Amino acid sequence: MKATRGKKGEVIRSGKFLRLVIRDGWEYVERVNCAGAVIIVAKTDDDKLILVEQFRRPVQKFTIGFPAGLVGDDRGQHGESVISAARREMIEETGYCPSRLRVLFTGPVSAGMCCDIVTIVHASGLKKVGAGGGIDDHENIQVHEVPLKSIDLWLKRKARSGRLVGPNIFAGLYFLEHWVR
C-alpha cells in the first residue's frame, strides 16, 4: 500500500474510523471522524456514581467506565461542542439528562499511542429521561448507579469477577473529591 500524507504525518494505513500514521519515526493512531472525546463524571443528587458496563472488542472483555463518547462523530454534528457531546452521550448511554455540565480537565488519552485528546466533564442535576443503553445494538450498555460510599468495594468485586475497570474512574473519583464543590 502506498503511504499518503495525513494532517500530522505520513498515513501508513487508513480505515473507516482510524488511520495509522508515522511522523518523525513514531507510529501512532489518529481518528478520522471526530474532534475529540469526552468522559462524563456523573453523580446523582443522592450521591450515586453513574457508571457503564459494556463489552469492548479490542480487549475482548466487559469493561466498567464512565459514560463517554466522541465529539462530532456523527453526520450533522460537525462543530459540536464538548458540552453538547457530553449531554448527548449521557442521554444515549445512561438515560440521564444533566442540567449542569462543567469541564474539569482536558488532556491526552495515551500520548504514546494516539493523538486523542479527552475532556473530562462533571455532570450534575441529573434527571432520568430514558432507558439508556446506547443508540444501537452494538453498544449494549448496562447502566450502574453505585453509592459513592461503597464504590471501592463495588469496583473490587467487578474486577474480581473479570471485568476490566477503566483507570479513568480513579481520576474521576479524585476530581469529585478535590475539584467539585
The tens digit of pLDDT for each residue in 137-176 reads 677 899 999 999 999 999 999 999 999 999 999 999 999 9
Q: How far apart are CA 163 and CA 160, in angstroms?
A: 7
User: Both 110 and 145 in a single domain?
Assistant: yes
Same domain, 89 and 23: no
Domain housing 115? 38-178
Residue-wise pLDDT tens digits, 23-39: 999 999 998 888 889 99
The set of residues, in sequence order, having a beta carbon less than 8 Å from that of 20 and lying 6+ positions away, is: 11, 12, 13, 14, 27, 28, 29
Do 66 and 14 fall into the same domain? no
Do 92 and 106 fall into the same domain? Answer: yes
| Mean pLDDT value across the chain | 91
Are 59 and 16 in the same domain? Answer: no
Contacts of range 151-154, beta carbons closer than 8 Å, 24 or more positions apart: 151/49
Cα dist from 104 to 43, 121, 168, 173, 176, whole Å: 14, 5, 13, 12, 10
Q: How many structural domains is the chain composed of?
A: 2
Q: Give the model confidence (pLDDT) of 89-99 as tens digits.
A: 999 999 999 99
Q: What is the CATH number of the domain that holds 172?
A: 3.90.79.10
Q: Do 145 and 66 fall within a single domain?
A: yes
Written as one letter, the residue type at 101 is: L
82-136 per-position pLDDT tens digit: 999 999 999 999 999 999 999 999 999 899 999 999 999 999 999 999 989 887 7
More reliable by pLDDT, 4 or 149: 149
pLDDT tens-digit readout, 54-77:
999 999 999 999 999 999 887 767
**Pairing mode of beta strands 117-128, 96-108:** antiparallel
